[in-house]
Amino acid sequence: MAGEEVVRLEDVWVHYDGVPVLEGINLDINQDDFLGIIGPNGGGKTTLLRVILGLVKPSQGRVTVLGSTPKRRRKFVSYVPQHSLFDQDFPVSVWDVALMGRVGQAGLFKRYRKEDNKAALNALQTVEMLDLKDRQIGELSGGQQQRVFIARALVAEPKLLLLDEPTASVDAPMMTEFYELLERLKQRMAIVLVTHDISAVSTYVDKIACLNRRLFYHHSKEISAEELEATYQCPIQLIAHGVPHRVLKEHD
Amino acid sequence: MGPLEYTFMQHALLAGLLAAVACGIIGVYVVVKRMVFISGGISHASFGGIGLGYYLGINPVLGALFFTVASALSMGVVTRRTRLAEDTAIGILWAIGMALGIIFIDLTPGYAPDLFGYLFGSILTVPSSDLITMLILDIAIIATVFLLYKEFLALSFDEEFGTAAGVPTEPLYLILLCLIALTVVVLIKVVGIILVIALLTIPAAMARQFTHSLKRMMLFSILFGVVFTTGGLWLSYELDLASGATIILVSGALFLASLGFARLHRRKQLQQPSQRG
């Protein structure tokens, strides 16, 4: 069944100023996984992605990405950050932003080549943003920008795609479209989708993990009530928010 | 064509051109990556290098070259690697550099007659040797930006993504700071240490209003730099005013005018669709 192993975390701990953010995380992700990671804000979701990207060094434990260290494997891992990190007035076109996803592959001191341009064209087509390729990035709406950032992640043709709260700035009608895009992409790469929006994620992902410093994960969509409670600490409030947690169990 | 017959005027014009190229290219990064404060720090710290030049009895511009690159690198390392807030670290190194310059000059026997020129610019007294230094620095800046253009773009637009994509962002950031240091050295003779920051920001900020492409922004900003230095030089000659300060005031005035122009232009753009609808 499961294909090649893409990521393995063994007893990973991360501390910020001596305060634990991630505690003893064990996780393995395979080539054909579409994993949703849910959990409250401040539960360490972004940190976990940053560990896999090699942007945060664990204080303890081992991280293996495609058989090597995260830093050595950056060219095979793409990342869609929680937007708004850039200056909206930045003088750069949609096309150049998409092309930036190839900056690692193209190599230092070199220009972008034909295959880089082709990859950017394909990626912008996939997210249906090719028509706007000459626009300045700040002129686009939040949802459109998010699509461009997904294109930027796709041009690298990664083996693993990490998405951090990708629907934060996406409006409701585009949401379905967005998840359908991921559905198509998962044929080609492993996907990890981090969100605090349980209801959206539960219909589309194949596997769910809960993270609140500690990770609960059984390679399935099964999360027990106790684990949800341990993750969110306040299960009643959770259900009151209209998140029927049986959705997590009843699928297909 | 009165003034152009003088060698010092020809040198001054050339110096202005060379300065416009350096500040046109690097100023764009300073503006879009919001590195104005660290650039201010680097330019003021270069005074330490001027002082060192006097003390060692070498050309102060050469002294400034090495000292400025060293202080740019240490600012980069201190702001990235320590837990000090970036602006605090810059403020401290800014002052240390200037203080070192004063001490070096104190320790040097005799006068430092053209000290004022280094602080406020002395474009009318640029010797050929300094023009050659400026030309070499310009070539180094152009070559580096040409080779690392896509990496610098990734670094300026979204540093974290660049790192995650496998770009060595920290070394590249330090290289960019070194290029700022080289630009500062190119500009010292033209407008002086204190006013360098104006030429690093005004042409690029003005260019930004007319284009959304980084490359075109560099071309425009070089062009504006040429207009500012030449215009300022001519005006200072006609009115017998300090050249460095005149160049800056010409830049500032044209920048303010361009702001007003851009605003009018935007209002027109806003009005057009509403008339149609």
B202-258 residue pLDDT tens: 999 999 999 999 999 999 999 999 999 999 999 999 999 999 999 999 999 999 999
Q: Which residues pair with B194 in a beta bridge?
A: none
Q: How far apart are CA B223 and CA B183, in angstroms?
A: 16
Assign B58 a pLDDT band (cuts: 50, 70, 90).
Answer: very high
Listed by number, the residues of chain B in 166-195 with a beta carbon closer than 8 Å to a beta carbon of chain A are 166-168
pLDDT at B78 over 90: yes
- Which residues in chain B have Cβ-Cβ distances shorter than 8 Å to A106? 150
pLDDT at B52 over 80: yes
pLDDT at A175 over 50: yes
Residue A205: per-residue pLDDT: 85
Q: Roughly how many angstroms between the first and final C-alpha of chain B, as a whole number?
A: 55
pLDDT at A77 over 80: yes
- Which residues in chain A have Cβ-Cβ distances shorter than 8 Å to B151? 103, 108
Count of structural domains, chain A? 1
Q: How far apart are CA B178 and CA B117, in angstroms?
A: 23
Assign A87 a pLDDT band (cuts: 50, 70, 90).
Answer: confident
Per-residue pLDDT, averaged over B104-114, amounts to 86
Both tokens of A162, joined, read: 């990490």
Nearest chain B Cα to A83, which residue? Answer: B158
Residue A248: per-residue pLDDT: 46
Nearest chain A Cα to B145, which residue? Answer: A109
Q: Which of A131, A127, A120 is nearest to A97 (CA)?
A: A120
Assign A229 a pLDDT band (cuts: 50, 70, 90).
Answer: low
Per-residue exposure over B2-16, b if at least 16 CB sit within 10 Å of its own CB, e if not: eeeeeeebebbbbbb
Task: Find where tokens 């240390």 sit.
Answer: B96
Lowest mean pLDDT among A130-134, A214-218, A220-224: A220-224
With an 8 Å Cβ cutoff, are A89 and B147 in contact? no
pLDDT at A245 over 80: no
Q: Is residue A182 in a domain?
A: yes
Residue A50: per-residue pLDDT: 94
Q: Is residue A122 in a domain?
A: no
Both tokens of A179, joined, read: 């998840």
CB nearest to A92's CB, from B147, B148, B157: B157
In a mutational test of the A interface, the residue from B29, B30, B31, B158 whose CB has the highest number of chain A CBs within 10 Å is: B158
What is the domain partition of chain B in residue ranges? 3-271
With an 8 Å Cβ cutoff, are A100 and B162 in contact? yes
Nearest chain A Cα to B32, which residue? Answer: A90
Residue A233: per-residue pLDDT: 60
- Which residues in chain B have Cβ-Cβ distances shorter than 8 Å to A86? 157-158
- Which residues in chain B have Cβ-Cβ distances shorter than 8 Å to A103? 150-151, 154, 162, 165-167
Q: How far apart are CA A17 and CA B10, in angstroms?
A: 59
pLDDT at B59 over 70: yes
**Are A193 and A46 in contact, with CB atoms under 8 Å apart?**
no
What is the residue range of A62's domain? 5-90+158-248
Q: Is residue A213 in a domain?
A: yes
Per-residue pLDDT, averaged over B26-53, amounts to 96
pLDDT at B76 over 90: yes
B161 touches chain A (CB under 8 A): yes
Architecture of domain B3-271: Orthogonal Bundle (1.10)
Residue B112: per-residue pLDDT: 76
| Coil, helix or strand at residue B123 | helix
Q: What is the pTM of this model?
A: 0.90
B164 touches chain A (CB under 8 A): yes
For chain A, give the percent of residues with pLDDT over 90.
52
With an 8 Å Cβ cutoff, are A109 and B34 in contact? no
Q: Which of A98, A178, A82 is nearest to A137 (CA)?
A: A98
Q: How far apart are CA A210 and CA A228, in angstroms?
A: 7
Angle of helix B128-147 relative to helix B60-81, nearest 10 degrees, comes to 30
Both tokens of B201, joined, read: 């920001």
Q: Roughly how many angstroms between the first and final C-alpha of chain A, as a whole number?
A: 19
B156 touches chain A (CB under 8 A): yes
DSSP-assigned states of every residue in A21-82:
EEEEEEEEEETT-EEEEE--TTSSHHHHHHHHHTSS--SEEEEEETTB-TGGGGGGEEEE--
- Which residues in chain B have Cβ-Cβ distances shorter than 8 Å to A105? 166
Q: Average per-residue pLDDT in chain A? A: 84
- Which residues in chain A have Cβ-Cβ distances shorter than 8 Å to B213? 91-93
Residue B244: per-residue pLDDT: 93
Between A174 and A130, the higher pLDDT residue: A130
Q: Is residue A128 in a domain?
A: no
Q: Is residue A152 in a domain?
A: no
Q: What does residue A214 show for φ and ψ, rounded to 5 degrees?
A: -100, 155
Q: Work out how many CB contacts closer than 8 A connect A with B.
A: 79
B262 touches chain A (CB under 8 A): no
Residue B105: CA atoms inside 13 Å, Cβ hemisphere, count? 19
Residue A219: per-residue pLDDT: 78
Residue B4: per-residue pLDDT: 81
With an 8 Å Cβ cutoff, are A81 and B32 in contact? no
Q: What CATH number does residue A243 fall under?
A: 3.40.50.300
With an 8 Å Cβ cutoff, are B151 and A108 in contact? yes
Residue A232: count other Cβ atoms within 10 Å of its Cβ: 20
Q: Is residue A80 in a domain?
A: yes
Nearest chain B Cα to A95, which residue? Answer: B213
Task: Find where tokens 């000059």 sit.
Answer: B105
pLDDT digits over B171-216, tens only?
999 999 999 999 999 999 899 999 999 999 999 999 999 999 999 9
Q: Is residue A186 in a domain?
A: yes
**Are A189 and A33 in contact, with CB atoms under 8 Å apart?**
no
Assign A246 a pLDDT band (cuts: 50, 70, 90).
Answer: very low
Listed by number, the residues of chain B in 27-46 with a beta carbon closer than 8 Å to a beta carbon of chain A are 32, 34
